């Protein structure tokens, strides 16, 4: 089942919570070990309510811009859109060296990247749990997760999409009842150097609603990238179709 894609999260994992605040962010989170992203070592990060984990500065912006950005911001965007956790949902995060979780992550990375010797030493797990969208008059919520992991040299990011029910808040042109339309959510990476970036197919289009059916590692709902020196792996050549379909473009 798709739920098994999500690594454990929540109060029983001693997770922290982002503030219940529209366009809110976590405090600056100092990391136990440096995480290398696009060749640069980072000792801290922010978890931003609007679906972004950023390294150098907070990202409160709610309508996503197309990548690459020209303003130097460095981040991973599992699902950059206008989240409003005042209306619903919780955003969890934790830094961990739990042996059981690291063993599971190691097994996954070894399966997807058999040519790269890798044993996870550290992970950071951020989970958006059934989060609502700004202006919502519905009960729709999105559940997705970003996991950063490193062996202190090689770094990976695992993006897990369990349930995606909306793409857009009303301030980005979306419909209050459906959460669709307007400028849809962005998923991908921005290095901050204006050159290196990656857009997951269908970002900022209505097709992003089907990200739970897409993958670059043959696991629908999961995208995995080596990010110390960014590598695009097995990316599909065809974007997911918007219409409900039984086909998965992997």
Best CA proximity match to 132, nearest among 94, 172, 164, 155: 164
Question: What pLDDT, on the 0 to 100 scale, is given for residue 75?
Answer: 97
For residue 60, what are the β-bridge partners?
none
pLDDT for the residue numbered 212: 96
Place of tokens 């550290």: 122
The whole-number pLDDT of residue 70 equals 87
Q: What is the pLDDT of residues 32-70, one digit of tens each?
A: 999 999 999 999 999 999 999 999 899 999 999 999 998
Per DSSP, the three-state class of 201 is coil
pLDDT along the chain (250 residues), means of 10: 82 97 97 96 98 96 94 95 98 98 98 96 98 98 98 97 98 98 97 90 97 96 92 55 42
CA distances (Å), origin 105, targets 19, 54, 176: 28, 21, 38
- How far is the C-alpha of 131 from the C-alpha of 134, rounded, in Å? 10
Contact 129, 89 (CB under 8 A): yes
* β-sheet with 155-163: strand ranges across: 16-17, 90-96, 122-131, 142-150, 155-163, 222-226
């Amino acid at each position: 089942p798709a739920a098994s894609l999500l690594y454990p999260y929540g109060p029983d994992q001693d997770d922290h919570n982002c503030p219940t605040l529209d366009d809110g962010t976590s405090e600056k989170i100092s990391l136990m070990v440096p995480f290398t992203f696009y060749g640069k070592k980072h000792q801290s990060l922010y978890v931003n309510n609007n679906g972004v984990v950023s390294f150098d500065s907070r990202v409160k912006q709610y309508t996503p811009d197309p990548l690459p950005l020209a303003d130097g911001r460095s981040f991973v965007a599992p699902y950059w859109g206008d989240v409003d956790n005042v209306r619903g949902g919780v955003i969890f995060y934790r830094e961990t060296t739990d042996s059981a979780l690291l063993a599971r992550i190691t097994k996954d990375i070894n399966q997807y990247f058999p040519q790269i010797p890798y044993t996870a030493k550290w992970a950071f797990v951020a989970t958006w749990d059934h989060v609502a969208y700004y202006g919502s008059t519905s009960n729709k919520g999105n559940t997705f997760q970003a996991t950063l992991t490193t062996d202190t040299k090689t770094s990976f990011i695992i993006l897990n999409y369990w349930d995606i029910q909306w793409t857009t808040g009303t301030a980005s042109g979306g419909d209050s009842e459906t959460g669709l339309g307007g400028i849809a959510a962005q998923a991908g990476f921005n290095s901050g150097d204006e050159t290196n970036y990656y857009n997951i197919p269908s970002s900022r289009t209505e097709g992003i609603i089907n990200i739970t059916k897409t993958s670059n590692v043959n696991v629908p709902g999961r995208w995995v990238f080596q990010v110390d020196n960014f590598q695009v792996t097995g990316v599909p050549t065809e974007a997911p179709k918007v219409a409900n379909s039984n086909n998965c473009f992997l």
